């Protein structure tokens, strides 16, 4: 496919992508959108110009909305048809390519729009599905010879997180406060976290509602997944390490998580399917799957001091995941837990075997023992006030590039 819209060959938003988001256009009104190159397309206006009239199931202008939830809920037959239609419209020689009136009304330069949270997130679950990350943490905090807990290779470990504090890229947040117990102290202290960390993750969005007691099988899972975003699960390690026994993450995690504004569909990621890591021992029947369920998505993390340059501090890949999305959703619902449109399921920190691919400061500095040197001469054990963390991700194969843009957020001093 060749588009009549010009964009850089390294653009994350090629004609092979066609992601979905929500934008404020000209500071005037909000509508659902897509992006190609550096142009953001107003889907509500495109609907009004009758470009989606013959798509079965799209019976009203559902793009006149503050979130994508209602569109996503229409399911793959409709959302995939809309994406395919947009690819056709953006192709060289299409009817739209000669329609200057529609182009002028519906296409906006990137700097003329503001991206909003793309979905209303009903519920949020965070998994713990990278074997390298789980092993590293186990070595640091438990017995290095038995880094993985006995259940880890038998089920996708996860916990229910806080949906209200998930924000879109560009929203900055204040350093969290809480209880901590320094190693040399006999009693806990209270104050701003001194070990603020990022976690490199990706997350998928569910497109359906199920009834209480209903399960989604591994085979059915991808039909229930609309697409994916980049996800930064900010973590206060000193608060977390004091509070997490016996019930797990709480204040060390629930203060903020950040997502990228564009949801990339599973259809767009199809060229980047890849084999999963071998699972040994063999999993139980309800977690068994066929075919390639992992995706080759290259991931990068940058740390930028205030008024400074970006520092590349990690290069990882989503294909390192031991447990795949289909297994995560199947396990999540096997007990009858119902899901809702817009539910967000994060992968857990994504780390590879090499130190350069670790997905958190906790691992990159090995709990602060090996500080990272930045290009301005300073060093970091964890994240400082006024630091910005930027994550980027993309798939690239056979001349096709599909990316997520970035998720970026700055840490402000504690209130």
Token couple for 208 = 């359906």
Residue 332: active-site member = no
- The pairing of strands 273-274 and 379-380 is unpaired
Kindly report the number of other CB atoms within 10 A of residue 44's CB atom.
18
Series of mean pLDDT values for 10-residue runs along the chain (415 residues): 95 98 95 98 98 96 98 98 98 96 97 97 98 96 91 98 98 98 95 98 98 98 98 98 94 98 98 96 98 98 98 98 98 98 98 98 97 97 98 97 98 98
Q: Residue 142's pLDDT is what? A: 85
Q: Residue 94's pLDDT is what? A: 97
CATH homologous superfamily, domain 124-412? Fumarylacetoacetase-like, C-terminal domain (3.90.850.10)
Measured distance CA(289)–CA(220) in Å, rounded: 11
**Domains 21-115 and 124-412 belong to one CATH topology:** no
Does the domain formed by 21-115 have CATH 2.30.30.90? no
- Could you tell me the residue ranges of all domains in the chain? 21-115, 124-412
Q: Residue 413's pLDDT is what? A: 98
Measured distance CA(40)–CA(405) in Å, rounded: 13
Q: Where on the phi/psi map is residue 191: left (φ > 0), alpha (ψ -120 to 50), or beta?
A: left
Catalytic one of 133, 174, 331, 386: 133
Q: Residue 49's pLDDT is what? A: 97
Q: Residue 346's pLDDT is what? A: 98
């Amino acid at each position: 496919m060749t588009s009549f819209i010009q964009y850089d060959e390294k653009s994350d938003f090629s004609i092979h992508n066609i992601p979905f988001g929500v934008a404020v256009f000209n500071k005037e009104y909000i509508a659902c959108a897509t992006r190609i190159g550096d142009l953001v397309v107003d889907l509500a206006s495109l609907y009004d110009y009758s470009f989606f009239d013959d798509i079965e199931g799209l019976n009203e202008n559902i793009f006149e909305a503050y979130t994508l939830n209602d569109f996503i809920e229409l399911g793959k037959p409709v959302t995939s048809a809309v994406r395919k239609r947009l690819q056709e419209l953006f192709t060289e020689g299409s009817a739209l390519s000669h329609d200057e009136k529609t182009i002028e009304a519906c296409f906006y330069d990137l700097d003329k729009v503001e991206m909003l949270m793309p979905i209303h997130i009903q519920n949020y679950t965070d998994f713990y599905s990278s074997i390298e990350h789980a092993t590293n943490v186990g070595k640091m905090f438990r017995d290095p010879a038995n880094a993985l807990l006995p259940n880890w290779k038998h089920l996708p470990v996860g916990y229910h997180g806080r949906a209200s504090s998930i924000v879109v890229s560009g929203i900055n947040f204040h350093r969290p406060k809480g209880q901590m117990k320094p190693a040399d102290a006999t009693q806990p202290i209270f104050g701003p976290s001194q070990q603020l960390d990022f976690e490199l993750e990706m997350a998928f969005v569910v497109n359906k509602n199920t009834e209480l007691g209903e399960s989604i099988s591994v085979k059915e899972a991808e039909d229930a997944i609309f697409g994916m975003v980049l996800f930064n699960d900010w973590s206060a390690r000193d608060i977390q390490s004091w509070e997490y026994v016996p019930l797990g993450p709480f204040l060390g995690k629930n203060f903020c998580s950040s997502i990228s504004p564009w949801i990339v569909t599973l259809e767009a990621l199809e060229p980047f399917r890849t084999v999963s890591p071998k699972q040994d021992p063999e999993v139980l029947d309800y977690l068994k799957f066929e075919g390639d369920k992992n995706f080759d998505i290259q991931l990068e993390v940058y740390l930028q001091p205030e008024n400074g340059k970006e520092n590349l501090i990690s290069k990882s890949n989503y294909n390192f995941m031991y447990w795949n999305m289909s297994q995560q959703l199947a396990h999540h619902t096997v007990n009858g837990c119902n899901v809702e449109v817009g539910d967000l399921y994060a992968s857990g920190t994504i780390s590879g075997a090499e130190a350069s691919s670790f997905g958190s400061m906790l691992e990159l500095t090995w709990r602060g023992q090996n500080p990272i040197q930045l290009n301005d001469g300073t060093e970091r054990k964890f994240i400082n006030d006024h630091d910005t963390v930027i994550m980027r991700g993309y798939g690239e194969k056979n001349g096709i590039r599909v990316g997520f843009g970035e998720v970026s957020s700055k840490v402000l001093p504690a209130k």
